[in-house]
Amino acid sequence: MEKTAVVDTSTTGGVDIENIMQKASFASAIFSQLSQEHTDRIVKAVYEAGFKNRIKLAKMAHEETKLGVWEDKVIKNVVATQFVYEDIKNLKTVGIISDNEESGIIEIAQPIGPIFALIPVTNPTSTVMFKILIALKTRNPIIISPHHRAMKCSNETARICYEAALKEDAPQDCIQWLEAKSSEGTRALMKHKKLALVLATGGSSLVGAAYSSGTPAIGVGPGNVPAYIGETADVGFAVEQIFTSKTFDNGTVCASEQSIIVDKSHADKAKKEIEARKGYFLSDDEIKRVEDVAFDKERGLMNAAIVGQSAAFIAKLANIDAPSDVRLLIAPLKGIGKDYPLSSEVLAPILAYYIANDFEHAVNLCIDLNFHGGIGHTVSIYSNDDKKIREFASVMNAGRIVVNTPSSQGAVGGLYNTLHPSFTLGCGSGGKNITTDNITARHLLNIQRIARRRVNRRLEKFDTSLYLDESIDTKTLEDEFNRNY
């Protein structure tokens, strides 16, 4: 049997689409016959192989992309394997998954078919393992499309998973990966009639292309996460959590904090706590210099050269005389929007910083930040006042409102809360996505419903000819319909 699924790249911009899709269709067909027990054996083997290689793959990712911190990438790989596996291992994904005698509804899980998975450069091995696990758990073949700057590590991850799957008699070509990349090939694959779904994690243009392909797509949106330290917050704790989150993998997680909003009553303490943890407050002049290196003002986007780099590296690039052990660059800003580039999403250890006069002022700042490029994603609050937490949540447009939690790890789920561990965070309609859920195996199933006869008891006793009588008003019809019910 073939031991790898290397794709012939002789046509269509370097990608042999027909060959890939034929193999995927065959794998899909064979998958349809697998039992839950067989499926679970495959998933377990793939999890174990990915987990075993977590360090090797993290180092490969760091070396190839030059982004982030390899030790943190190990943690990402752990979440993508151990935590994801724990979350999905007992999930029923084959055959009858629920049977409700009273409602008469029986649900049957069916695979959706071949999935095309776009992988971001920021999580090039963890996202591969995560998507492969949820695809295999739902008996769907998957085609991995690595980022062009992370092809080696992403494809090695896919290869390791595929070998492990084959050892448990998984369908041949159930995992494929692209060895050559071209935008023509990617777009053509996304449009292919045999493709069931594009699982798009990446930048806005790629996610937009996935949505425009005509194939169903699950995408993500950009984040711009405000972290509000409220009046009742434990300030030292909050600052520590924010440092844990924002320095993680040098800020490459899209759910990482982009700004801190501190209640005025805590301003002095917060500053001291930040400085004690090697946070460096930028002067107005230094903010301008960081903006110049961190932000591409013409395109209105963060500069790729500083994504995932350390605070010391960025300070040096901006010609700022910060301590060599600086961990975060803090930019006290006077406003939000395009005139204040550091109020936008920057996937690096840079944080905008605001002092709020009171709760209302803080919430207004957070709303402005939330709606400045991060609609639907994630917001963060540190508070011990449940009423304020609920009030805050109700006016934010965010799929995840993480409370007293480092936002990067909190939004991804599984570590600090019971959200489903995921490397694809839905951002709802605000992020142009179909859901605000943390995407997981449940989203990769077609659910059939056997609907047994259960006639509405009110309808049985109701004279339906009354519907044809225009002289009877709505209230009377409703009363009649509900009589003795």
Partner 1 sequence: MLQFKLEDEKLVCLFLSNMETENCVNCEEELFKKIREAKLPVVFDLKEVSYIASMFLSMCLMAKKEPDVQDFLLINVQPNVKKVFKIAGIDKHLTIT
**Interface residue list for partner 1 (CB under 8 A):** 1, 22, 25-30, 32-33, 113, 169, 171-173, 194
Smallest separation, CB 208 to partner 1 (Å): 29
Paired strand residues for 117: 144, 199
Query: Any idea which residue has 């075993």 for tokens?
Result: 52
Q: What's the distance, CA 325 to chain centroid?
A: 31
Closest distance of CB 48 from partner 1, Å: 22
Q: Residue holding tokens 């225009």?
A: 470
Secondary structure element (H or E) that encloses residue 310, with its range? none
Question: CB atoms < 10 A from the CB of 351, how many?
Answer: 25
HSE (CB half, 13 Å, CA atoms) of 159? 14
CB of 113 to partner 1, least distance (A): 8
Q: Cα separation of 313 and 68, whole Å?
A: 12
Q: Write down the least CB distance from residue 445 to partner 1, Å.
A: 15
Beta carbon nearer to partner 1, 29 or 466: 29
Residue with tokens 């500053």: 271
Q: Which is nearer to partner 1, 25 or 182 (CB)?
A: 25
Q: Residue 115 CB, nearest distance to partner 1 (Å)?
A: 14
- Distance separating alpha carbons of residues 307 and 5, to the nearest angstrom: 32
Which residue type, as a one-letter code, is found at position 137? K
**Closest CA relative to residue 290, chosen from 262, 277, 309, 269:** 309
**Closer Cβ to partner 1, 64 or 173, answer by number:** 173
List b or e across 216-235, with b for residues whose CB sees 16 or more CB atoms inside 10 angstroms.
Answer: ebbbbbbbbbbbbbbbebeb
Task: Choose among 154, 170, 153: nearest CA to 162.
Answer: 170
Q: Tell me the H-state helices in 247-358.
A: 267-276, 284-294, 311-317
CB of 28 to partner 1, least distance (A): 5
Of 276, 284, 269, 288, nearest to 231 by C-alpha is: 269
Contact 185, 13 (CB under 8 A): yes
Pick between residue 35 and residue 384 the one whose CB is nearest to partner 1: 35
3-state SS assignment for residue 236? helix
Residue whose CB is less far from partner 1, 172 or 265: 172
First to last CA, the chain: 64
172 vs 364, beta carbon nearer partner 1: 172
List the structure tokens of 83. Answer: 């935590």
Catalytic residue among 161, 174, 254, 427: 254
The SS3 assignment for 259 reads strand
Nearer Cβ to partner 1 (29/304): 29
Mapping DSSP to helix (H, G, I), strand (E, B) and coil, where does residue 147 land?
coil
Closest to partner 1 by CB, 25 vs 417, is 25
CB of 32 vs partner 1, minimal distance in Å: 6
Integer Cα distance of 431 and 273 in angstroms: 34
Q: In whole angstroms, how close is the CB of 175 to partner 1 at the nearest point?
A: 13
Let me know if 366 is a catalytic residue.
no
Comparison of 37 and 463: residue with beta carbon closer to partner 1: 37
Residue 30 Cβ, how far from partner 1 at the closest point, in Å? 5
Question: How far is 382 from 228, CA to CA, in rounded Å?
Answer: 6
Distances (CA, A) of 55 to 50, 62, 75, 161, 236: 10, 11, 9, 15, 32
Enzyme catalytic residues: 254
